[in-house]
Amino acid sequence: MVISIETDIKPVPLLHELKMIEEKTGRVKRERWHEREIDIDILLYGERIVSEESLNIPHKELTKRDFFLVPLLELNSDLILPGEGIFLSDLKIVEEKSYIKGWNRNFFRMKRGVVFLDEK
């Protein structure tokens, strides 16, 4: 899932806020590349480029992950990769990859006003 927000919070403090949300919603710290209960990433921040030890914007893996790109392009099909000047929609991975296996099924369901992952 990808969302777009507007904020006055600078990128690094925003990352800290997002990590607090992850922690409050039950994320357990594990080794890298392990399954996560929740994972909130900053993919883009307008046209800004950020290179910090704790944060890289655009996200380092953005152009390699169709599960980032496809829903991001559904929000805005005219996005340009900051610093590169290329349209994200022109990347080959957008055309080649299948996004998420089984994409036609509903992944989430609502029960009593709360959204749950449908684990069928």
- Confidence band for 73, pLDDT divided at 50, 70 and 90: confident
Number of domains within the chain: 1
Choosing from 8, 30, 32, 36, which is the catalytic residue? 36
84 Cβ partners below 8 Å, 6+ apart?
A: none
Q: Can 90 be counted among the known catalytic residues?
A: no
Indicate if the pLDDT at residue 112 is higher than 70: no
Structure tokens at 100: 């998420």
Q: What is the distance between the alpha carbons of residues 6 and 70, in angstroms, rounded to a whole number?
A: 20
Q: What is the distance between the alpha carbons of residues 33 and 35, in angstroms, rounded to a whole number?
A: 7
- Confidence band for 74, pLDDT divided at 50, 70 and 90: confident
Choosing from 8, 32, 39, 78, which is the catalytic residue? 39
Range of the domain at 69: 11-117
Identify whether 28 is part of a domain: yes
> CATH no. for residue 43?
3.30.70.560
Identify whether 1 is part of a domain: no
Identify whether 6 is part of a domain: no
* pLDDT tens digit sequence for 9-48: 999 999 999 998 888 888 877 776 667 777 889 999 999 9
- Res 16: pLDDT: 95
Q: What is the distance between the alpha carbons of residues 46 and 99, in angstroms, rounded to a whole number?
A: 24
Q: Can 41 be counted among the known catalytic residues?
A: yes
- Res 71: pLDDT: 84
